[in-house]
Structure 1
Amino acid sequence: MKPYVKAVVLSLLVSATSCKKDSENIEKLVIKSDAMSNNILLQEWTGPYDGVPAFDKMKVSDVKEAMETGMALGLKDIETIANNPEAPTFENTIAALERAGKELDRVFSYYGIFSSNMSSPEFREVQGELAPKLSEYTSKINQNNALFQRIKTVYKAAEKTPLESEKQRVLDLIYKRFEMDGAELNDAKKKRYADINKELSTLYTDFSNNVLNDEENYITYLEKDQLGGLSEGFVKSAAKIAKDNGKAEKYAITNTRSSVDPFLTYSTERNLREKVWDNYYSRGDNGDAFDNNTMIAQILRLRRERVELLGYDNYAQWRLQDRMAKNPENAMELMMAVWPSAIARVAEEVIDMQAIAKKNNDAVIIEPWDYRYYAEKVRQEKYNLDSEEVKQYLQLNKLTDALFYVAGRLFNYDFKPVEEGTVPVFHEDVNVWEVTDKTTGKHVGLWYLDSFARQGKRSGAWATTYRSHTTFDGQETVLASNNSNFVKPAPGEAVLVSWDDAETFFHEFGHALHFFSSNVAYPTLNGGVRDYTEFQSQLLERWLSTDEVINTFLVHNETGESIPEALVEKIKKASTFNQGFDTTEYLASALMDMKLHLADPETIDIDNFERQTLAELNMPKQLPMRHRTPHFGHVFSGEGYATAYYGYMWADVLTSDAAEAFKNAPGGFYDKALSDKLVKYLFAPRNAMDPAEAYRKFRGRDAKIEALMRDRGFPVSKEE
């Protein structure tokens, strides 16, 4: 990760601003002479596998010094490039940028762990202090005029005499990023741009910490007589969590999706379902010191002001110009093409659920906290499919083996657990595997897996890298991680997951395979286009449903027997079940993200805007958005997904279309020729190739939306 996008890694993504000549600023950032030798976070990685982070030795008390020292060293690298007396060339400017800031790269790996996996009040205090400093750091790079003029000189020369393709792509991406971040603004506008970014960086950190506070502090404790409908494994896990929190003899429902979803699906206690639902969907919206509504309005105002400095009408125009969608109109067109079918399907699903409630003599009108509960009953009646029965065949360790099987068949990778104690980890729950090429035995990288929810770990599932593949300065091997929030089982119990969670597990592993398969030379090319990078991971979800995975890795938790064919058939028949809910809750969030950034932010009232927008969309009252605005971390704890949450749907068009190619291939999902094209064009190039061109090389044409509509069981409006 390069110095001019360091803030992206931390989900700050604050587009930086101008500076004076940085030599005097560097002097103010004093580099302690002993920092490199005494601060473990700055030191070069040593040990096996081309060096690994010293996760077992990291301390919060080292973070501030390491970050400040890393920033000072990064700026020193930048000044050397910017003030080079030689004429600008690709090698002395662009390639030099690619290798700058290595010390800060190392610190960011630890910082990300503290931020996402091991947060604490002590770290959050340091994080709050560092956020504006990181913004200033990024500003001093992205709008260093001497640096930009060198980049521009190389760029203009390449317009006359293009470079070879990979170098040209790196140059184009870097130039565009500097241009988008205000490199050509006048001094007054540059200063305001920088001030906005500094303020935003603090707001993003505060937003994220507010949500984490509400996740940690709204725990519902149950008595023994309130466990109706819950599985034995879930009850044991809830008991352990309660005991760990000093509430022996009670059962804890934590305020995270991995705990909330199964409770809402199976609990027979309707009043408790409502309480748990309200806790979860009210995160950041409780009218207290951790309420995010006012902060969101300020974020929107600052984002609009910042892009207006660059001449854009709204934030979405600026953000989408280098995405596949290109502009907000194209993104909205796709979402609104699917939305009517989604909400129409919800209406059908609610009718089915209301009928089940009437049949069971439940005098209820379906509310949001009822949806999952009655949907599960409809599933059982319509398809004779019990999700709890399916879970008995979805053991986390077996699913991990299934990931390795798929990676072996498609990518020729072999995964072997490293010897205990060989590779340092930051928590006892983390496991590590070595990845090698099965044919050559060549080392590819390490895969870290952090599976379980815990205090201080952000909710959800994600993938990240501690080191990415490059070759321009000698080959760098990959250190990649997947992170989940499964409820940790009681001792001796297997981890059983839902089908949806199993798909998510495959999804995040798709990101890891994207990291491992990279064949690019330059670090910048490991980046991605947001509405494309979810495609590869969404596509990998499809291999969970292949016969090879089902017949080999889905075995019963207690008996060890393979999943019965009859149950598999039920699963396949129910594949489009509840698509109204799944599509609508997601699309509502994506539409809200876009509409918030297209609206006038000056007088916006977030709570009213959310309600009015949903009413205008005819949002079904029986379900919420997947991410309500006050806790929409994708969009407001940083800018990575801001006006880009639609990208999952954009990527899913590609996914459905590509999946049909595999479905129709002679060898199905393991067809050798098509798998080779998958790796060659869709995974290995990362961002070294324009995504639209890469997809056409794989498929022979552009993707078509009809495949997505068929996938979801929605009407296809026109013939192909």
Structure 2
Amino acid sequence: MQNPLLSQFDLAPFSKIKSEHFEPAFREALRQAKEEINKITENTATPSFENTIEALEASGEQLNRVASILFNLNSAETSTEIQQIAQQVSPWLSEFSNDLILNETLFARVKSVYETKDSLALSTEQAKLLEESYANFSRNGANLPKDKQEQLRAIDQELAKLSLQFGEHVLAETNNFQLTVLEESKLEGLPDDAKETAAQLAKEKGLEGFLFTLHYPSYLPFMKYVKDRDLRKEMALAFGRKGFQDNANNNEAIVLEVANLRFKRAQLLGYETHAHFVLEQRMAKTPTQVNNFLEDLLNKAKPAATKEFEELSNFAKEQDQIDQLQKWDAAYYAEKLKQKKFDLNEEELKPYFELSNVIKGMFTIAGKLFDLKFEEVDDIDVYHEEVKTYRVTNTEGNFIAVFYADFHPRPGKRDGAWMTVYKNQQITAGENSRPHISIVCNFTRPTATKPSLLTFNEVTTLFHEFGHALHGMLANTTYASLSGTSVYWDFVELPSQLLENWCYEEEALALFAKHYQTGEVIPMHLVEKIKASSNFQEGMQTLRQLSFGRLDMTWHGIDPTSITDVKSHEINAFKGTKFYPDVSENCMSTAFSHIFQGGYSSGYYSYKWAEVLDADAFAYFKEKGIFNKEVAASFKATVLSQGGTIAPMELYKKFRGQEPKPEALLKRAGLLLVEE
């Protein structure tokens, strides 16, 4: 049987891949990778940067390509077979990683080169690769005695398995719930678009009436617009109990086990907690600095948040005699209040944000800023017919990247939005091998009568993920492991959050905010309303993000061995940041995929951390002009192209000429005014 995963491919051969190809592909790719490592360790020549560090960097490329395809499919287009394969190969990959890190001969060679680094006349990027290579060994057990190394192996294999199980459970819980409403009268307040989508979904499932799910394009409009409070409660409870029900998908034991295993692992390696281990390679450096950052923002945002909640509570009381706001009231009354204060209805905006128009405008903005051109093509293989593909070039016609975009929810796709990589940029044998980048989203689907019309939140999400994609596409480094988004985790959100700012600017909106029927550019009065409402409930939104960051740190910045109840721990972590009464049937940790499945453990604070950077950076754009070529070229040459080759703060200062000022964020968020 010819295995497409073992052929020499540039573009991922999705249409040729069958589930049964993965196991033999992993076995062979692992064999090749081990052989490449053996060549390094068996080399009798004196260890050098070239024969050890560069050789190590170049090893395992086939394995990395195969793994990227499997695990990206497991997120974007999974199946029972794919999930089983992921469970099967994860321990293999964990074992290989441990074998590599704990290979004494290999570490001895790396250490030998590292100890002579001052005499090697390395370039900045070479020096960084050497530093990262050595740290990868020393931070992950290479200096441990044999018995502790074996404990580390067991922990890493178990963590890999638990992470996959956690994600499978959340996806199953998301897919398992559906709410059928037979009478249209019960959906008072829900826009016609959302009703049409729900009716279409019910029809596809062979059901009468209207069908709603926990996927965001279905769930969010329901919670924002449906007047029936009991129905909103039913949906909210279902959403909040993912992984927290008495069934096979319960994640409570997994959460406790992951937290304890991460702590045990950190202790083995000589760190106080998992957060101490993680943050050593972050801009924030220590849990103390993270906690101080979160508390400082909390103190600045809480007065505004308290006023906002009082205002919302009073409004709900006036409107519907609601004595106590509950979580299922939040989006509904916030939307009503927003309409009243700013005369702005989200539904009024949607006709101006037709998905294909927004994409074209986004590409135009990237062209104006970074001299890029995006050509949609149909000769690139995809894993699902809905995936769009683009060939990206610069204005001189040079090939820059392949870009995949997958926009709508499906049962095999996890919720949320993310950017991912199928092939990293790197320079090998003098050739600049360009990257293959993908974004995956869950946006409102087209209906029988209308194209995909985005909410404004979906527009900013698209720009956010595209910012990550640009970081990957414009990478220009020698080594793959330092390329693109391979930067400190609390720096990686800067390009994504920065790009969101263009969604609020009249000059940018004129490029893509056009009525899908008439072609009319969004009227100025609506632009002004978008701007005026941009800080609506910013205090409460800030507290929400800070609460998630604190929850993350309470799982990973302390000794978790005494925690026996996930829910009780969570209630304690949220103290001082929550306004709504607790819901006993709900728990966030059991579906907190960012930290228990994704890479954000001890790093959720980075969203707010990067907001400080992005607010300061965009203030520079605003000062010089949002399409200023010099500022954009500087951002491209520093932040977007340099990857992890230079320390993040050095890169930022090269771009900005100074360290970021937190005042920029507070001013943009309207929180400085509250202070005064």
Confirm or deny a common fold (TM above 0.5): yes
CA contact (8 A) 1:444 1:516 kept: yes
In the alignment, structure 1 residue 688 sits paired with structure 2 residue 652? no
SS in 2 for 1:347: helix
Supply the distance in 2 between the matched residues of 1:318 and 1:219 (Cα, whole angstroms): 41
Match for residue 523 of structure 1? Answer: 480
AA aligned opposite 1:203: L
In the alignment, is the contact (CA less than 8 A) between 2:102 and 2:141 conserved in 1? Answer: yes
Which of 604, 628, 633 aligns to 1:671? It is 628
Q: What is aligned with 1:230?
A: 190
Matching residue within 503, 511, 518 for 1:559: 518
Pick one of 334, 337, 344 that aligns with 1:375: 334
1:708 to 665, 669, 673: 665
Asked whether the 8 Å contact 2:355–2:454 carries over to 1, the reply is yes
The answer to whether structure 1 residue 650 and structure 2 residue 609 are counterparts is yes
Distance 1:622 1:712, change over 3 A: farther
2: CA distance between counterparts of 1:390 and 1:205?
38
Q: 1:446 aligns with which of 393, 402, 405?
A: 402
Indicate the SS of the match to 2:560.
coil
The answer to whether 1:241 aligns with 2:205 is no
- Structure 2 contact 327–581 (Cα < 8 Å) conserved: yes
CA distance in structure 2 between the partners assigned to 1:570 and 1:224 by the alignment:
35
Distance 1:319 1:113, change over 3 A: closer
Change (3 A) 1:622 1:433: farther
2:567/2:587 contact within 8 Å kept: no
The DSSP-based 3-state class of the residue aligned with 1:316 is helix
**Contact 2:222–2:232 (Cα < 8 Å) also in 1:** yes
Find the counterpart in structure 2 of residue 476 from structure 1: 433
1:40 corresponds to 2:8: no
| Alignment match, 2:593 | 633
Q: Deviation of residue 319 (structure 1)?
A: 0.6
Cα contact 1:41–1:110 (8 A) shared by 2: no
Worse-matched range after superposition: 617-626 or 253-262: 617-626
C-alpha offsets along residues 349-398 of structure 1, whole Å, 9 cap, x if unaligned?
Answer: 22222333233344452111111110111111111111111122111111
Alpha-carbon distance, 1:619 to partner: 1.9
* Higher mean displacement: 297-306 or 98-107: 98-107
Superposition map of 1:584-599 within 5 A: 584-599=543-558
Q: Aligned pair in 2 of structure 1 residues 361, 207: CA closer, same or farther (>3 Å)?
A: closer
TM-score by length of 1: 0.90
Size of the aligned set, in residue pairs, is: 670
- 1:495 is aligned, of 452, 456, 477, to 452
Amino acid aligned to 2:213: T
Q: Distance in 2 between matches of 1:572 and 1:303?
A: 43
One-letter amino acid of the structure 1 residue matched with residue 594 of structure 2: H
Q: Does 1:52 align with 2:11?
A: yes
Distance in 2, Cα, partners of 1:581 & 1:500:
16
> Could you tell me which residue of structure 2 aligns to residue 131 of structure 1?
90
**Letter of the aligned partner of 2:451 in structure 1?**
A
Structure 1 position 546 matched with structure 2 position 502: no
The list of structure 1 runs, each at least 4 consecutive aligned residues, that deviate by more than 6 angstroms after superposition, is 623-627, 716-719
Deviation at 1:105? 2.2
Shift of 1:716: 6.3
Note the 1:265-344 alignment, pairs <5 A. 265-344=224-303
Amino acid of the structure 1 residue aligned with 2:574: L
Residue 62 of structure 2 corresponds to which residue in structure 1?
103
- Structure 1: distance between partners of 2:582 and 2:400: 44
| Equivalent residue for 2:222, pick from 249, 255, 263 | 263
Distance 2:462 2:527 in 1: 19
The Cα of 1:678 is off from its aligned counterpart by 0.9
Q: Is the 8 A contact 2:547 2:577 kept in 1?
A: no
- Structure 2 residue corresponding to 1:457, chosen from 392, 410, 413: 413
- Change beyond 3 A, Cα 1:317–1:591: same
Q: Are residue 610 (structure 1) and residue 587 (structure 2) matched?
A: no
Q: What is the match of residue 433 of structure 1?
A: 390
- For residue 602 of structure 1, give the secondary structure of its aligned residue in structure 2: helix
Gaps of 5+ in 2: none
How many angstroms does 1:239 deviate by?
A: 1.8
Amino acid at match of 1:395: E
Aligned to 1:396: 355
The 3-state SS of whatever aligns with 1:485 is: coil
Q: Is the 8 A contact 1:233 1:489 kept in 2?
A: no
Structure 1 stretch 641-650 or stretch 69-78: which is displaced more? 69-78
Change (3 A) 1:250 1:377: same
| Whole-angstrom CA distance in 1 between matches of 2:386 and 2:69 | 17
Preserved CA contact (<8 Å) 2:392 2:402: yes
Q: What secondary structure sits across from 1:434 in the alignment?
A: strand
Kindly indicate whether the alpha-carbon contact (under 8 Å) linking 1:589 and 1:627 is maintained by their aligned counterparts in 2: no
Segments of 5+ residues of structure 1 without an aligned counterpart are 1-33, 46-50
SS of residue paired to 2:391: strand
1:120/1:90 CA distance change after superposition, 3 Å: same
- Contact 2:444–2:454 at 8 Å: present in 1 too? no
Asked if the contact 1:371–1:623 (Cα under 8 Å) also holds between the matched residues in 2, the reply is: no
Separation of aligned partners in 2, 1:651 and 1:429: 32
2:375 and 2:390 in contact (8 A); partners too: yes
1:327 Cα deviation after fit: 0.6
> Distance between the aligned counterparts of 1:623 and 1:343, measured in 2?
19
Is the partner of 1:577 in helix, strand or coil?
A: coil
- Structure 2 Cα separation of the partners of residues 186 and 681 of structure 1: 41
Give the aligned residue type for 1:390.
Answer: L
CA–CA separation in structure 2 for the residues paired with 1:155 and 1:252: 60
**Superposition pairs of residues 338-353 of structure 1, within 5 angstroms:** 338-353=297-312
SS at match of 2:516: coil
SS in 2 for 1:240: helix
Is this contact kept in 1: 2:557–2:602, CA < 8 A?
Answer: no
Q: Distance in 1 between matches of 2:619 and 2:507?
A: 18
**Per-residue deviation at 1:342?**
3.1
Counterpart in the other structure of 1:15: none
CA 618–549 in structure 1, closer or farther in 2 if over 3 Å, else same: closer
| Matched AA of 1:40 | P
**Residue identity opposite 2:44 in structure 1:** P
Q: Report SS of the residue matched to 1:41.
A: helix
- Secondary structure of 1:471 counterpart: strand
Distance 1:209 1:87 in 2: 47
Q: Residues of 1 paired with 2:200 and 2:398: CA distance?
A: 43
CA distance in 2, matches of 1:214, 1:662: 43
Q: Within 1, Cα distance between the matches of 2:543 and 2:205?
A: 36
Provide the rounded CA distance (Å) in 1 between the counterparts of 2:343 and 2:635: 36
- Structure 1 pair 355/515, CA: closer, same or farther in 2 (3 Å)? same
| C-alpha displacement of 1:624 | 9.0
Question: Once the two structures are superposed, what CA deviation does each residue of 1:437-468 show, in whole Å capped at 9, x if it has no partner?
Answer: 11x20111111110010011011000111112
1:112 and 2:68 matched: no
CA contact (8 A) 2:445 2:451 kept: no
Map of 1:19 onto structure 2: none
Looking at structure 1, the residues matched to 587 and 611 of structure 2 have their Cα atoms a distance apart, in angstroms, of: 19
The counterpart of 1:467, out of the listed 423, 431, 444, is 423
- Deviation of 1:717 after TM superposition, in Å, equals 8.9
Tell me, yes or no, if the aligned pair for 2:309 and 2:579 is still in contact at 8 Å: no
Query: Matches of 2:281 and 2:539 in 1, distance apart?
Result: 31
Deviation per CA, 1:43-69: give whole Å up to 9, x if none. Answer: 211xxxxx3111111111212221222
* Counterpart amino acid of residue 126 in structure 1: I
> Structure 1 stretch 161-170 or stretch 502-511: which is displaced more?
161-170
Give me the CA root mean square deviation.
Answer: 1.9
* 1:124 maps to amino acid: Q
Instruction: Quote how far apart the aligned CAs of 1:623 are.
Output: 8.6
Distance 2:18 2:302 in 1: 49
**Conserved? CA contact 2:202–2:210, under 8 Å:** yes
* Amino acid corresponding to residue 469 of structure 2 in structure 1: A
1:557 Cα deviation from its structure 2 partner: 2.8
Question: What amino acid maps onto 1:423 in structure 2?
Answer: I
